[in-house]
Structure 1
Amino acid sequence: MSDDPSNIQRRWRLALGRYAERQMGGLSKSDVRMDRTLDYLYGREYDKRGLHRPKGPGTLDPTQMKALDWLGSARKLFPQSVFEVLQDHALDRYGLSDLLDDPKTLENLEPNQDLLKTLLSFHGRAKPEVKDKLRQVADAVIQDIMRRLKSDVQRAFSGRRNPYKRSHVASAANFDWRGTLRRNLKNYDPDTGRIIADDLRFVSRERRRLPWSVILCVDQSGSMTDSIIHSAVMAAILSGLPGVKVSMVLFDTSIIDVTEKLTDPLDTLLSVQLGGGTDIGQAVEYSERYIDTPERTVFVLISDFAEGASPRRLYRSVARMNEARVRMIGLSALDDLGDPYMDAQIAGRLAGLGMKIAAMTPDKLAQWLAGVME
């Protein structure tokens, strides 16, 4: 974007809205259309604060534009990244639920994870005639996430690396850099300070023969929506792997057992009731029923660890699992950014009881799980 002073002024004029026209001047014909589109959405700030919206020559009042018209205009006028931000603000910040009331409007929405989060909260209130379309949009987002994660999970669980057995199958996952370095030391060039690797080494992998049980216990409070989405997708992928049995429990102050729905992530997500308080101890204690062979069980608690009840019940359950030699993982986030938020005091106490605490993206979780299960 140009740093030309006139362009900077133009951008400020669009950001501040039509009330700045007297001080900053008018706009070109194309910018007027952008100004109207932005005002349709962000002019609602005046309504929220009980203020009268300023009028300007040649402008359209919000009542003169329909949600579908606004959506089409925003898609044409702004880059894709900006359009997605506008769409998310319309749904999340300004509650333009009329964007979700019409199947034709849904066809114009851009499927992405933020839209999926909105659909999850709206689904229970949707009109019957748009519910099928909501499911189609949600399923498109889920399938995209599955495509991105599935190869990472399958690669991580492809078998345990055996450093003592060579393989002739060349793949990045099996590359033996130590063995390659040792084998090619004779090719060191002192003039360039480099080693010419003409003999690449790869290790073999051994299939896991004994079954493992993975228990996912997922906080469904409002701040954990990204984690719930990725957990549902991860559970579906893991449940399709040989030798892995997956159970999944969602919780706030109540418990929803979705173990029987794991093959369809959308069904899992539609069971979610976002919001409410948090009773982690109750959910962890409930999850213990799925422990058959403790030493071959991985328990994964996905939460911000902000316990709403007394933490004693939580500590007792975790201590029991640790004594039984269950392998325990605690994750504070599962979104693509991996930004952690957690109650450090409770997380620290759980770590002291034998739970490994971390914040990581879903692909890293797959690698960690595979390592824990070796």
Structure 2
Amino acid sequence: MVLGGESADGTGHPLSGTDAAMDGALTALYGSAPGAGAASRGSGGRSAGLGGSAPSVARWLGDIRTYFPSSVVQIMQRDAIDRLGLSGLLLEPEMLEAVEADVHLVGTLLSLGKVLPETTKETARAVVRKVVQELEKKLASRTRATLTGALDRSARISRPRHRDIDWDRTIRANLKNYLPEHHTVVPERLIGYGRASRSVRKEVILCVDQSGSMAASVVHASVFGAVLASMRSLATRLVVFDTAVVDLTDQLDDPVDVLFGTQLGGGTDINRALAYCQSRITRPADTVVVLISDLYEGGIRDGMLKRVAAMKAAGVEFVALLALSDEGTPAYDRDHAAALAALGAPAFACTPDLFPEVMAAAIEKRPLPVPDTDTALRR
């Protein structure tokens, strides 16, 4: 790839064996122009493209899985879908069984949603479920542990009645006040269980933009929504939107159902989505609203900002995530992000690993761990 192919490589030493096969697999993808169709193998053994047939692509998929590690395979598959327009081949069950499943592939399958033939749907669900289960395994335990700690801390009270004192935590917090001569600890600071507070569940509303560019964020939000919904101390609602608004809360027990309930693509009406979320808030001071969107508003801009301002004034913790993925710096509307930041609603891109910390901070009403990047707009 660096030296060029055939007479252009400048070495005078042709590749052979595994090196030639790897070179052919790379040339099949990167040696033809984006969108190229026909493919053939030249006499030199270098592939001239993937072509449009399922058998040739299936062979290529097998080759790259043989010669490259999984992380590289996923990148090459992604490039093949985007660069050569191979989405149509994913409608065939044999193709889906051959690909390396990842978040990007799930996004592609969701975008194909309504055109998936019946013969492919079950295979597509199996692919999506595999990715979702891997994400849940990676993210669930840490998310539950982080948020359980945050909920526990937010439930404690600093001036408890005698019967509500948590003596274990109170003693630990006052060990510095130990008086050796009296063999006692002076409880300068009392920590209580906050029984009344514990009976009130925090409410979380995930409001997710399902426009085509947000595919990876939709996948991660669905997994996190299911994890949050499994916690009894939280009341979780999941709302997805384009120009219409769909409440998928009743499907949160299965994130795969949630994902197939979305429809990637279409326009964006953030104002309408926030209006719906606002109408479902019953206890503002105990509610966290997380808007996951690139903020390219197609609805009423001033209405969107007024709703955010009203929710914050009522005591709602409002967070705007420009992306919830590992895909790097997202494209987003900088003017809208700056306007939200001016209202005290930070707008920033968030990785899945950081999301539990963001939610914990929002629940405890403390400053959010905003990444120090050019995609973060601080308060």
User: Which of the five TM-score ranges fits, normalised by the shorter chain?
Assistant: 0.7 to 0.9
Corresponding position of 1:228: 218
Looking at structure 2, the residues matched to 252 and 100 of structure 1 have their Cα atoms a distance apart, in angstroms, of 25
Corresponding position of 2:26: 38
Looking at structure 2, the residues matched to 344 and 46 of structure 1 have their Cα atoms a distance apart, in angstroms, of 30
TM-score under structure 2 length normalisation:
0.76
Structure 2 unaligned spans of 5+: 159-165, 178-190, 365-379
Corresponding position of 2:2: 12
Looking at structure 2, the residues matched to 24 and 179 of structure 1 have their Cα atoms a distance apart, in angstroms, of 77
The residue identity in structure 2 corresponding to 1:137 is: V
Deviation at 1:353, TM superposition (A): 2.8
Corresponding position of 1:5: none
1:346-371 Cα distance to aligned partner (Å, 9 max, x none) = 22222333424333223432223233
Looking at structure 1, the residues matched to 360 and 315 of structure 2 have their Cα atoms a distance apart, in angstroms, of 17
TM-score under structure 1 length normalisation:
0.77
Find 1:120's aligned residue among 106, 110, 119. 110
Cα distance change on mapping 1:45 and 1:100 into 2, 3 Å: same
Instruction: Report whether the alignment pairs 1:240 with 2:230.
Output: yes
Structure 1 segment 79-158 matched on structure 2, within 5 A: 79-97=69-87, 99-158=89-148
The residue identity in structure 2 corresponding to 1:142 is: V
Looking at structure 1, the residues matched to 215 and 318 of structure 2 have their Cα atoms a distance apart, in angstroms, of 22
**Stretch of structure 1 that moved more, 326-335 or 119-128:** 119-128
Per the alignment, in what secondary structure is the counterpart of residue 206 of structure 2?
A: strand
Per the alignment, in what secondary structure is the counterpart of residue 60 of structure 2?
A: helix
Contact residue 204 and residue 235 of structure 2 kept, 8 A? yes
The residue identity in structure 1 corresponding to 2:27 is: D
Contact residue 35 and residue 85 of structure 2 kept, 8 A? no
Contact residue 330 and residue 357 of structure 1 kept, 8 A? yes
Per the alignment, in what secondary structure is the counterpart of residue 33 of structure 2?
A: helix
Contact residue 37 and residue 73 of structure 1 kept, 8 A? yes
Instruction: Report whether the alignment pairs 1:292 with 2:279.
Output: no
Aligned positions, number: 333
Looking at structure 1, the residues matched to 133 and 243 of structure 2 have their Cα atoms a distance apart, in angstroms, of 30
Deviation at 1:155, TM superposition (A): 0.8
Cα distance change on mapping 1:127 and 1:54 into 2, 3 Å: closer
Contact residue 39 and residue 47 of structure 2 kept, 8 A? no
Contact residue 219 and residue 228 of structure 1 kept, 8 A? yes
Structure 1 segment 164-179 matched on structure 2, within 5 A: none
Structure 1 unaligned spans of 5+: 1-10, 169-175, 184-202
1:87-125 Cα distance to aligned partner (Å, 9 max, x none) = 221222212246524433322321222222222223322
Find 1:268's aligned residue among 241, 255, 258. 258
Per the alignment, in what secondary structure is the counterpart of residue 317 of structure 1?
A: helix
Looking at structure 2, the residues matched to 21 and 292 of structure 1 have their Cα atoms a distance apart, in angstroms, of 68
1:323-368 Cα distance to aligned partner (Å, 9 max, x none) = 3222211111211356354323222222333424333223432223
Looking at structure 2, the residues matched to 353 and 285 of structure 1 have their Cα atoms a distance apart, in angstroms, of 17
Looking at structure 2, the residues matched to 353 and 252 of structure 1 have their Cα atoms a distance apart, in angstroms, of 24
Looking at structure 2, the residues matched to 82 and 17 of structure 1 have their Cα atoms a distance apart, in angstroms, of 21
Instruction: Report whether the alignment pairs 1:28 with 2:20.
Output: no
Looking at structure 1, the residues matched to 213 and 35 of structure 2 have their Cα atoms a distance apart, in angstroms, of 27
Same amino acid, percent of matched pairs? 36
Contact residue 111 and residue 265 of structure 2 kept, 8 A? no
Find 1:160's aligned residue among 148, 152, 175. 152
Per the alignment, in what secondary structure is the counterpart of residue 281 of structure 1?
A: helix
1:33-86 Cα distance to aligned partner (Å, 9 max, x none) = 2233233333441764x9998955345665696221111112112233322222
Deviation at 1:242, TM superposition (A): 0.9
Looking at structure 2, the residues matched to 330 and 153 of structure 1 have their Cα atoms a distance apart, in angstroms, of 19
Cα distance change on mapping 1:118 and 1:46 into 2, 3 Å: closer
Cα distance change on mapping 1:205 and 1:38 into 2, 3 Å: farther
Corresponding position of 1:4: none
Cα distance change on mapping 1:53 and 1:315 into 2, 3 Å: same
Looking at structure 2, the residues matched to 61 and 304 of structure 1 have their Cα atoms a distance apart, in angstroms, of 38
Deviation at 1:137, TM superposition (A): 0.9
Cα distance change on mapping 1:70 and 1:237 into 2, 3 Å: same
The residue identity in structure 1 corresponding to 2:282 is: D
